Amino acid sequence: MQTKRHWTEPPTPRTRLARLSHDVDNLLMVISGHAELARHALPADHTARNSIDLITIAVELARTLTDASLGPGRRKAPAHSRLDLSQLVADSAQLIRGMMRDLIEVEIDTTAGAGLWIEGDATQLLRALLNLADNARYAMGDSGRLSILLRSKNPTGNGSGNGSSGPDDTAEPAAELVVADTGVGIPEEEQTRLFEPFFSTKSSGTRHGLGLWQVHEVVSEHGGTIDVWSRSGCGTKFTITLPTCAPPESIEPRVSSEPGLPERSASVLVIEPDDEDRRVIAASLRSAGYHVIALADHRHARRRALSRSPIVRSAIVDVDQMDPARTHDLNELRDIQGLRGIVFLASDPSASSSEQRPCDQLLIKPFRVDALRSAVARSLLEPTYEDSHPC
């Protein structure tokens, strides 16, 4: 009797790279998750907090490499939403100051940029800003000053300070983010190549040459531009210009991820097949006071949820490894009495479930602990599915 052999097409190098990038991102999320949990557990004045901030920064910069490794046209699609740009810059201040380790003076001024809103991906913009700060730190060494300024570039074309010849009535309102350092500067002959992939002004072997290319890609994806001024011995200034948008009609209050919110005693159902991801997600929520049911798959999820006290109010579902044909699993979850919302986890916005409803949340992996807690907190503010169906 002859045994039939079934051959499968081997994955392409790009497919292997994408899978590797996904796996590395998951590991980075575990590292940053436990680092954030450790930070939250320490007193505000504990000296170890700065070391943990440096771990967080290293993870964020490493994530830019996994994204960049996919190459032009293959990077993860940005998850755009309306962002308060001044708030995003202010939120980055702690990480940037930790990066400079008290050796470099840091000035961050968002006063002139108050009320500037953009359509953007907060995570990618944060990483771009960290990349620029990291380049500045390298250029300055053990002393210097890093200045970050956010301001409005008005419709007449004034305010940029770049020596434009006169007003331009056709110019659209924009936001300008200026990152300047007092470092060694960049030779003029190298400035035209700054945003090329794998080009680096640093000594061979010390840098990968993807940081500024990544910044340029992020800015371009946001419909913006980035310009550089530099002179050897006089420092460097990067100016990012981004199109602005109107603020949301109703601005949601920032949802705190700290204990004390209503429904904090509710149970949260976590369905995550990856063991390490599931552990860090569960630990993040338990440390915030939630009761957690953590499962590897959807089997028996509804039965486990119904038998749990306190009642399950929110569910977290990883859709990366979910069979699209098994949409009835989600419908069974939504049948849980008292459930208010589902937080979907996905590596790419395009991979989110087609079953996602307006009242559900989407969190792009890898994410930070605070983002996870905020998403769960927002889901608890929704009405229950039975009260709002279809939501």
Q: For the domain bounded by 81-160+169-243, which CATH number is listed?
A: 3.30.565.10
Q: Can you give the pLDDT at residue 39?
A: 85
Q: Please answer whether residues 149 and 114 qualify as being in contact, where contact means their C-beta atoms are separated by less than 8 angstroms.
A: no
Q: Check pLDDT > 80 for residue 288.
A: yes
Higher pLDDT, 200 or 306: 200
Highest mean pLDDT among 6-10, 77-81, 350-354: 77-81
Q: Please answer whether residues 21 and 70 qualify as being in contact, where contact means their C-beta atoms are separated by less than 8 angstroms.
A: yes
Average pLDDT over residues 109-121: 91
What mean pLDDT value characterizes the chain?
77
- DSSP 8-state class, residue 359: T
State the alpha helices, DSSP H only, in the chain: 13-41, 48-68, 85-100, 122-140, 188-191, 211-221, 275-287, 301-306, 327-334, 369-379, 385-388
Q: Concatenated DSSP letters for 97-123?
A: HHHHTTTSEEEEE-GGGTT-EEEE-HH
pLDDT category at 112 given cuts 50, 70, 90 is very high
Q: Can you give the pLDDT at residue 27?
A: 84
Compute the distance between CA of residue 342 and CA of residue 362 in angstroms, rounded to an integer: 9
Q: Which helix (H) or strand (E) holds 268?
A: strand 267-271
Sign of the C-alpha dihedral, residues 326, 356, 331, 19?
positive
Compute the distance between CA of residue 70 and CA of residue 15 in angstroms, rounded to an integer: 9
Which of 26-30, 230-234, 354-358 comes out lowest in average pLDDT? 354-358
What are the tokens at 175? 């936001």
Highest mean pLDDT among 176-185, 187-196, 295-304, 351-360: 176-185
**159 contacts: CB under 8 Å, gap ≥ 6:** 151, 152, 153, 176
Q: Can you give the pLDDT at residue 111?
A: 92
Higher pLDDT, 367 or 332: 367
Q: pLDDT (tens digit, 9 = 90+) per residue, 118-147? A: 998 888 898 899 889 988 998 998 889 999
Higher pLDDT, 108 or 9: 108
CATH top class, domain 267-388: alpha beta
Q: Check pLDDT > 80 for residue 215.
A: yes
pLDDT category at 6 given cuts 50, 70, 90 is very low
Compute the distance between CA of residue 177 and CA of residue 120 in angstroms, rounded to an integer: 14
Tell me how far apart the terminal alpha carbons of the chain are, to the nearest angstrom.
Answer: 58
Average pLDDT over residues 91-117: 88
Q: Can you give the pLDDT at residue 121?
A: 84
Secondary structure of residue 153 in the 3-state scheme: strand
Highest mean pLDDT among 174-183, 246-255, 347-356: 174-183
Compute the distance between CA of residue 373 and CA of residue 80 in angstroms, rounded to an integer: 20
Whether this model's pTM surpasses 0.95: no
Secondary structure of residue 193 in the 3-state scheme: coil
Domain range list for the chain: 13-68, 81-160+169-243, 267-388
Average pLDDT over residues 322-341: 68
Q: Please answer whether residues 314 and 269 qualify as being in contact, where contact means their C-beta atoms are separated by less than 8 angstroms.
A: yes
Compute the distance between CA of residue 336 and CA of residue 328 in angstroms, rounded to an integer: 13
Which of 59-63, 99-103, 258-262, 361-365 comes out lowest in average pLDDT? 258-262
Q: At what angle do helices 48-68 and 85-100 cross, to 10 degrees?
A: 110
Position 320: which residue type? D
What are the tokens at 260? 């004390």
Compute the distance between CA of residue 12 and CA of residue 20 in angstroms, rounded to an integer: 12
